[in-house]
Structure formats: C-alpha cells, structure tokens
Amino acid sequence: MKKYLIIFAVLLGSFSVAKAQDDQPEKPKDIQALYVAYVTQQLQLTPDEAQKFWPVHAQFEAEMKGVKPDLPELDRQQAMLNIKKRYQDNFNRIIGPNRCEHFYRLQGEFKEKLIRMRNQRQQQRPLRRGF
C-alpha cells in the first residue's frame, strides 16, 4: 500500500511541477496516469488484481467513450448505465463486489478532484492584463 501511495504522490508532484512550468491545459496522458495511480491506490489493488483489472477497465472505458454524446440526455445516461451493469460481473470477479461499488464512485470523485485542482491553480495564478 505504501508503494502505491508513493507512486501516487510522485505522479501528483511531477504533474504539479510540470503544470507550474507551462500554461497549457493538462495532457490526457498525464491525467490518465494520475487516474490509474488514484484508482490503484484507492481500491488497494494487488499487482495480480491490477494486471487483471486494467485490461477490463480499458474495454469498459472504450465502450463508455463510444456512447454518442448527441443522444438525448436520458438515453445517453441509460446507455452508460447498461455498460456499467454489463461490466459489473467482470469487475466483481476481479476485485469483489464492495470494491466494485467503490470503483464506480471513484470515477466521479476523481473528476471532482481534478476540477478542484484546476480551480485552485487558476485562483493562484495572477491575472494577466493586456495593454
């Protein structure tokens, strides 16, 4: 567990340092690395579980991203719920029902944390005035 905390802290620290050096938006690769570290640490995945979990998660994410954004909102949410239900058995077999439930909650928590981090950085950044 300490190993995962250290990995997460290093990734978070390197992400913060990289962001301090440039003003560009976060790169999807950086965000994905943070997400993997966060989920691994929060679910306390063993190396064996992680080896099984992440390939299934990649398929899950691909299907979730495949949901058409132009669908009516309720249809889009229903399609995403159907995908989550289909993958629930796979995740339950790998990490158990309690951690599976926790995983589905973690997705929203991670997005909220990213938004908070971005907002804090924007508040700390001095306003630029054009002349």
Domain housing 114? 2-124
Q: Is residue 72 part of a domain?
A: yes
Residue range 1-16: mean pLDDT, rounded: 52
Q: Are 106 and 75 in contact (CB under 8 A)?
A: no
More confident residue, 1 or 122: 122
Q: Is residue 31 part of a domain?
A: yes
Angle subtended by helix axes 97-124 and 73-95, to nearest 10: 120
Q: Is residue 129 part of a domain?
A: no
Q: Is residue 68 part of a domain?
A: yes
pLDDT, residue 56, reads 97
Residue 114, class by beta-carbon neighbours within 10 Å (0-12 exposed, 13-18 middle, 19+ buried)? middle
pLDDT, residue 60, reads 97
Contacts of 121 (CB under 8 A, 6+ apart): 19
Q: Is residue 131 part of a domain?
A: no
Distance, CA of 94 to CA of 90 (rounded, Å): 7
Q: Is residue 130 part of a domain?
A: no
Total number of domains constituting the chain: 1
Q: Are 95 and 45 in contact (CB under 8 A)?
A: yes
pLDDT digit string (tens) for 21-71? Answer: 444 446 778 888 989 999 999 999 999 999 999 999 999 999 999 999 999
